Amino acid sequence: MKFNLASLGAGLLFGIGLLVSGMANPEKVLGFLDLAGQWDPSLAFVMGGAILVGLVAFTVAKKRTLSYLGFEMRLPGSRTIDRRLVIGSLLFGAGWGLAGFCPGPGLVALGAGKAGALVFVAAMIAGMGLFELIEKNRVRH
């Protein structure tokens, strides 16, 4: 129960932060990505703030063996930049640039009733399914 409430609280805080910062608004995101036109630098401050919070959180997490809820700490261990990471990053960036959404803001915008978010989330789910099929095939061979 404690874990579910913490997850709900974290999700609500994240969703509210995305709405307040404008990250769930594709026009704002696309304005940030439009370096040659009407560039809107405001999301750079949102990202900078997120990086600072993440930096503090990971610094604290590295020193712990258990989370504050009592679960084992499992942090990413790989520092390898391989072909799969680069291709995935390029696909993520292309999707973000085309749609103005990434997964978190897409789900928040869908919950807020934005029609474009429905297309994005459907495409995201299809892409996740395709990835699973490719992964299963790769592991088999």
Q: Which residue ranges make up each domain of the chain?
A: 2-140
Over the chain, what is the mean pLDDT?
Answer: 89
Which sign, positive or negative, has the C-alpha torsion 75, 78, 79, 81?
negative
pTM of the model: 0.72
Can you give the pLDDT at residue 58?
Answer: 92
Residue 109 CB: number of other CB atoms within 10 A?
A: 25
Q: What is the per-residue pLDDT across 72-130, written as a single tens digit (0 to 9) for each?
A: 988 888 889 999 899 989 988 888 888 888 888 899 889 888 888 999 999 999 999 99
- From the list 60, 52, 69, the residue with the least C-alpha distance to 1 is 69
C-alpha 93/C-alpha 87 separation (Å) is: 10
